Structure 1
Amino acid sequence: MNRKHSLVLPALFAALLAGCSGGNSTQGTSSPVATAGPVMAATVGSATAYTSVKWGGGGYVTGLIYHPTSYNVMYARTDIGGAYRWNGGGSWTPITDGIGFNAGESTFHGVESIALDPTNDNKVYLVTGMYSHDWQGTPINGRIYVSSDRGNSFTHYDLPFPVGGNENARAVGERLQLDPTNPSTMFYASRTAGLWKSTNSGQTWTQTGLSSKVLSASEIQGLGNAPVGVEQIMLDNSNVGGGATTWIMYAAIAPDYVQKAGLTSTLYKSVNGGATWTPVSVPANVAGYYVPHAVRTSDGNYYIAFNKTVGQGAGGPGYLYRFGGVTFGETWTQLATTTQGGYGGVSVYGNGSTARIALAVTGTWSSGQPVVQLSDNGGASWREIADGMTHWGGGYRGWVDDIEIDPTNKDHIMHIHGGGVWETWNASAASPSWDAPVNNLEETATLALVTPPAGASYKFVNSAGDIGTWVQTDLAATPTKAPTSAWSNGNAADVLWSDSTYIVSAGVINSTGGAFGSWSGDGGNSWSNFATLPAGASSNTAESASIVTPYRNNAIWAPANSVPSYTTNNGASWTSTNLPALSAVGINRGYRLVVDRRNPNKVYAYDSGGASWATAGKVYVSTDGGHNFTLSQGSVSANLAPNAWYATSLAVNPNVEGDLWLADGNTVYHSTNSGASWTKLSGFATIAGNGSTGQLQGASVIALGKAQTGSSYSAAVYVVGARNGVWGVYHSDDGGATWARFNDDAHQYGGIGVMAADWSTYGRIYFSGTGRGLIYTN
């Protein structure tokens, strides 16, 4: 169950398919941009504040990393949402939103490992990259980011090996280790290319003598596109500083790489700083097992978790062993085992027979099964401290894949899971209490967003991966109104403009893969599922979907890769529209639908072509409430660039009938006559990504919101794209005559996926960063 892959592939495709981006479109039949009232001064101004909308966690935190000597310094890494610095008091600061994590580089928001310099608690290293390979097995090399101010700013170096922060077994590690006495020397346990070493703080790297094997594309595919490789390195040294080299170290190696590289054990030792390696025998009952986590204590013992399978929520059996290392003659002592789930993480406080050991049990889903096992006598006996407690706000119980005991307070224990972080401050109690310390840790992935008219009882409807569709009434509080609280993807939603209490949504239950649609007639307080599904919905559940409502009880639903259908009876029955079938282009595509808010008999359908190598985009117009459509010949004349569904957008001005805005991936078009003709705006154009193999779309998202008081156009227009060679969010207050950049380089979030503007507050937009939930401005 590799939860986040589908949610970030669009951004990855944008980078991988860079060489195929659509070319510049040409001017088609056009009409002048509409204005109302006197022409004002050029558009100026930008966002002055950026704040996360409250959800609270929501995504898979894959590791917690304490500084080895300054224990108040801690970081969390996530699979798609970057990294966070711990503030204490349950609060976090995101550190990968800005400069260095630029637009078009969303893949570097997947953090596979973090290491902290033991001699300098300001210095932090992040190894990033979501995927170690593309869908054909071709390697994708990662980056190492370096900060000397606890993540306030970064520089980065390109790595010569792939990184897979959103792949299977992404909580394994830590893969990056710094020599504690000489931290400019570091090692990286890679998924596909063995063990690497740097002697200049990550600027350059060479393979160690462990193995020179680099997995080929076919070998990666033969492993199910899920290589684990070398899992971690353990340096036999607890000293800090001094400049000496740590010579003795152990490497834990996954069975997949052991087999491909012709190795003979899953554990190897070096006594010469990684130059050469020899196998170390592991206990027979864990031969061929994975090592998700290991920890060395100051007395020279290692506590190593073994698991038969690997990955988030991996099943067991699992074993915990104490390994004596060179200090104790490399002896093995079994301390624990489980057949209910497997072991995900281990943390130790103290040494020997009085050591407190916390074990994260992963892959258990039901009450009565272990979650966190605790020993206060070095592993001689164990008790459960999490199952049955006030612990689970729903979701991902079985992904307990890392755990940390606070080095300053053994009663403070934190563990990760698929929805964030949980902690207890009274672990010694008979029944410890748990809470979720996730303030400002927002790692949801929004797929669609719609704002209601001014005066509505809610701010927006958020359709997101994994957490589903929610109606947000308070930006500072977790929402409570949703069609379902089950683990689901919300793919699309719409609100009725004439009565915002009527909402429609479309999604999929992730545990079963079953599609469903829902409607609410009371602003999201209660919901009913559509009794039936339209053609294509059950078999096409990808997020390239759209649903709109022109009237109460009416909806038009465009499932991915499908002809849209309409209902006039809240889904009791569906009828296919006459829109053309969509040909396959190799990636998911779909129609984008919008309703004319001034005349809901008019519904517009935009086919972006589906991919940059496909046919030109087209717009279709319905005048009977979305039942029948006619091709806009003006859109054909405009020669809209073909682009992927996720790189395009269509928006309507609710204040003027027939007033449409379109972003075709390359530039912006405006129609004032219901799509009969289109004006191409100048200045927007696709450019090469800075320091990236990808490209930055010239115009990928467009949204309209409340107009500035006294402006010459009845809506503020916001566009995500590249204008005059600079990517950003741009806004116009005069109907596109002039533009100003609305964001800045410190607020790029690896790119922006969706955006909507507020109709009650001028200057407020809501948008999604890469795996960063929703952010709002001003």
Structure 2
Amino acid sequence: MTGRMTRAGKLLGALGLIPGLLLAAAPSSGADDATKKKPSAAYTWKNVRIDGGGFVPGIIFNRAEKNLAYARTDIGGAYRWQESTRSWTPLLDSVGWDDWGHTGVVSLASDTVEPDKVYAAVGTYTNDWDPGNGAVMRSADRGRTWKKAGLPFKLGGNMPGRGMGERLAVDPHDNRVLYLGAPSGHGLWRSTDSGATWSEVTAFPNPGTYRQDPSDTTGYASDNQGIAWVTFDESTGASGARTKPSTKTRIKPRTKTLYVGVADKDNAVYRSTDAGATWTRLAGQPTGLLAHKGVLDAENGYLYLAYSDKGGPYDGGKGQVWRYATRTGEWKNISPATEADTYYGYSGLTVDRQRPGTVMVTGYSSWYPDTQIFRSTDSGGSWTGAWNYGAYPERANRYTMDISSVPWLSWGANPAPPEQSPKLGWMTEALEIDPFDSDRMMYGTGATVYGTRNLRQWDSGGKFTVTPMVKGLEETAVNDLAAPASGAPLLSALGDIGGFRHTDVTKVPPLMYTGPNFTTTTSIDHAEAEPDTVVRVGQLDSGPRIAFSGDNGASWAAGKEPAGVSGGGTVAASVDGSRFVWSPDGAGVHTSGDRGASWTAASGIPQGAVVESDRADPKTFYGFKSGRFYVSRDGGATFAATASTGLPAEGAARFKAVPGEAGGIWLAGGKSGGTYGLWHSTDFGASFTRVQGVEEADTIGFGKAAPGSAHQTLFTSAKIGGVRGIFRSTDAGKSWVRVNDDTRQWGWTGAAITGDPRIFGRVYVATNGRGIVYGDNSRR
């Protein structure tokens, strides 16, 4: 996959959150008493298995307890490793709608003094895409439950530079003390009460200077990337405690020496030798590059630093690796390759705690032909690479790859040498050797976590085996879902990796959609009465941006596209699969009767309208934009606005037509402070009735009717009775029950929802970073 593919998908996922920002609202009193008293349904929740799918910028092993490890993601929360199942357990599913930004984790720290304690610095964007400030979450039970300390500034788990770090660190001798490096010029912060409160370290002299693109008016690429990492020198503190004579209280000695990395190409590394009271710039340090990581081998007295000319995670054209001798002050360039041979930056950095002198580093921004990982067993005196060129373009690899557990990581690619499939990775900014096991190493990529359990084969001349170590870690941004009545139970439209035909939601699918492979799929639909007919649209650097399937999404053929198309937009298939209506970005609404071989511009409907089809009448299509509802009765050739009023004119809105019911429509959406809720029409959108008791709603979907019910089951992500959640109705919206709970909220869930037409009670929920979650009625 190319750099632009990952970048485009991630940024579109970020921008896709903007409607969620606008829709967050304060509680209102619109719900009736019956709704407020409605009990929650007992539900069991799981992930539709994909395994991975997003960027993992940080992996953290606890250095005091074997097999205790964590991973952080940029938009999808944090995870804890479970050795018995070799899988990851999600830890931040309790983050709710109003705090959705706290699913982005900019740093994580595991306490070596009390291993039950773990900390996460959370916040997704430092610009106005995220309206809330960042926070430091703290847990005393390994992430099962959390307390939160709010910060007076934002954090950027999905901002440029997010692979640098770790920005959060716990003093290994006095674990009441933590440090946090802040972005946006906010400096260095410290807590002395185990993360409960925080204050700025005013003595720290440099809040950072580096901005990826100072001219960016959105504030995304122009933000000061700030302070990148904090590293304690554990050799400069003593274990145990001493008594303070004046009070006879026992106090713990803090670690005296710590190093801080700053996003400043001329002043990257600072040190304190008096437990943070005063700070000095390390003399003699290299300049002109950013120090992404600073990892200390305290036994040998070496601070290793990985440098790049850019902040990452996508960019970086040159880099160096340096070693600083903490006892003598000597700096030494120990780069694995000469600067003339380097076209990438370094970032991933780790040392072997069992074998001091062994160090590894990644060329994180080496996209072509592959990422590179280097290893030294003599403190950087000499290096070997995970692969080398033989007779160009052939490669000699020191590893083998087995992706049988996650086969889609092949990307369906068949590249020419020197590229290979599967790739060793890209955006490899997280790299860690298990501190208790020299044979185990994990590293993060833009799509997964890879690892090995026989790493030392590297040194003996054999080949180490790289496999996905990502089971349970689900990090996809979900844009749309479809649940046909036959064929695969679920079809997904995802950011970054396109989407999948899920023939078994408990198993990893073999491959994402290909022919073409969109970087991001924005919309997907199937013909209600002919589920083998499927259409999807999405993002691609150059067209086509629409594809059709005649076998329920198993295979695809690209269609042509009208002039002016710049993005996927939304698409709809008629109930019998004979016609399609497409509302792409950059061009107006169009209709086709030959699976995209030709298109005709529709009249009477504005560009950018959301489109859907009637699920009973093959000639009827619908559109909605800015409070106006549009209907076509001639297969999408002409539309006319209906007389319906009272619909939301601002904010995002999503609607669906009821399967098998001509003219039946449900519409959800709106904006905080304005019109916001759920509406129902039975007359092809000529009029809508607002559903009483629903204060806010953002999605609507249908599932199999309850036994004895004449109505299909409704599902929505909404606020009802003052509570945000996932709700179900079996009586056409007269009453609702909440089917999730406060421990399972998954941040923002406003993109898509659908019930299962074959299984009563089952619902599939789109999240922005936690993949597709599905719930089943426990008492079904």
Q: Same fold (TM over 0.5)?
A: yes
Once the two structures are superposed, residues 141-185 of structure 1 have per-residue CA deviations (whole angstroms, 9 ceiling, x without a partner) of 311111111111111011123211101111100001111111211
Give yes or no for the alignment of 1:559 onto 2:559: no
- Report deviation, 1:319: 1.9
Q: Which whole-Å CA distance do the structure 1 matches of 2:360 and 2:146 have between them?
A: 34
Work out the CA distance in 2 between the residues paired with 1:23 and 1:744. 20
Aligned match of 1:345: 348
Match of 2:773 among 768, 772, 775: 775
Offset of residue 219 of structure 1: 6.9
Q: CA deviation at 1:360?
A: 1.6
Q: Aligned equivalents of 2:650 and 2:767: distance in 1?
A: 21
Distance in 2 separating the partners of 1:281 and 1:139: 40
Kept in 1, the 8 Å contact 2:714–2:728? The answer is: yes
1:472 to 502, 509, 515: 502
CA contact (8 A) 2:181 2:229 kept: yes
Instruction: Find the partner of 2:476 among 435, 444, 452.
Output: 444
Partner of 2:401, secondary structure, is: coil
Partner of 1:355: 357
Q: Is the 8 A contact 1:220 1:227 kept in 2?
A: no
Q: By how many angstroms is 1:46 displaced?
A: 1.8
Once residues 213 and 319 of structure 1 are traced to their aligned partners in structure 2, the CA distance between those partners, rounded to angstroms, is 23
Q: Distance in 1 between matches of 2:314 and 2:632?
A: 48
Q: Structure 1 residues 251 and 598 mapped into 2: Cα distance closer, same or farther (>3 Å)?
A: same
Query: Paired residue for 1:119, among 106, 109, 113?
Result: 113
Q: Is the CA contact (8 Å cut-off) linking 1:235 and 1:250 kept in structure 2?
A: yes
- Cα deviation, 1:467-496, whole Å, max 9, x if unaligned, reads 113211110222236234746111111111
C-alpha distance 459-730 of structure 1, shift in aligned 2 (>3 A): same
CA contact (8 A) 1:385 1:431 kept: no
Q: Is 1:196 matched up with 2:196? A: no
Residue type of the alignment partner of 1:520? S
**Change in 2 beyond 3 A, CA 1:131/1:68:** same
> 1:680-720: CA deviations, max 9, x gaps?
111111xxxxxxxxxxxx01111111000101x32001121
Q: Distance between the aligned counterparts of 2:282 and 2:571, measured in 1?
A: 56
Partner of 1:398: 426
Aligned to 1:428: 456
Q: 2:549 aligned with 1:499, yes or no?
A: no
| Compared CA separation, residues 131 and 360, structure 1 to 2 (3 A) | same
What's 1:526 paired with? Answer: 555
Q: Does 1:252 align with 2:261?
A: yes
Where 2:14 maps in the other structure, the secondary structure is helix
* 8 A contact 2:480–2:494 mirrored in 1: yes
Structure 2 matches for 1:42-441, cutoff 5 A? 46-88=41-83, 89-98=85-94, 101-134=95-128, 141-192=133-184, 193-202=186-195, 203-211=197-205, 224-238=221-235, 242=241, 243-255=252-264, 265-283=267-285, 286-299=286-299, 300-325=301-326, 327-332=327-332, 334=334, 336-337=336-337, 339-350=342-353, 355-367=357-369, 371-385=372-386, 387=397, 389-390=400-401, 393-394=409-410, 397-429=425-457, 430-441=462-473
Q: Distance in 2 between matches of 1:447 and 1:403?
A: 30
The one-letter code sitting in structure 1 at the alignment partner of 2:655 is: L
Q: Distance in 2 between matches of 1:669 and 1:748?
A: 24
**1:576 is aligned to 2:601:** yes
- Amino acid paired to 1:77: R
| Residue of structure 2 equivalent to 1:594 | 612
How far did 1:212 drift?
7.1
Superposed displacement of residue 83, structure 1:
0.3
**Contact in 2 for aligned 1:411/1:424 (Cα 8 Å):** yes
Runs (5+) with no aligned partner, structure 1: 27-41, 259-263, 583-589, 610-616, 686-697
Q: List runs of 5+ in structure 2 lacking aligned partners.
A: 32-36, 242-251, 388-396, 404-408, 412-422, 671-675
Alpha-carbon RMSD: 2.8
Q: Could you state the TM-score of these two structures normalised by the residue count of structure 2?
A: 0.85
- Aligned CA distance change for structure 1 residues 549 and 328 (closer, same or farther; 3 Å): farther
Which of 678, 700, 710 pairs up with 2:688? 678
> Aligned pair in 2 of structure 1 residues 297, 481: CA closer, same or farther (>3 Å)?
closer
Percent of aligned pairs sharing the same letter: 30
- 1:508-657 pair list within 5 angstroms: 508-509=539-540, 512=541, 514-530=543-559, 532-536=560-564, 538-541=565-568, 544-560=569-585, 562-582=587-607, 590-607=608-625, 609=626, 617-633=627-643, 635-636=644-645, 639-645=646-652, 648-657=653-662
The verdict on how the C-alpha distance between 1:336 and 1:277 changes in structure 2, with shifts beyond 3 A counting, is: same
Kindly state the Cα deviation for residue 596 of structure 1 after the two structures are TM-superposed: 1.6
Measure the CA separation in 2 of the matches of 1:676 and 1:414: 58
Match of 1:7 among 13, 16, 21: 13
CA contact (8 A) 1:401 1:416 kept: yes
Whole-Å separation in 2 of the counterparts to 1:216 and 1:313: 16
- Give the CA deviation at 1:409: 1.3
- Secondary structure of 1:5's aligned partner: helix
Q: Which residue of 1 aligns with 2:247?
A: none
Query: Out of 636, 649, 667, which is 1:662 matched to?
Result: 667
How far apart are the structure 1 equivalents of 2:482 and 2:192? 50
For 1:312 and 1:580, the matched residues in 2 are separated by: 41
Quick one: distance in 2 between partners of 1:436 and 1:485?
25
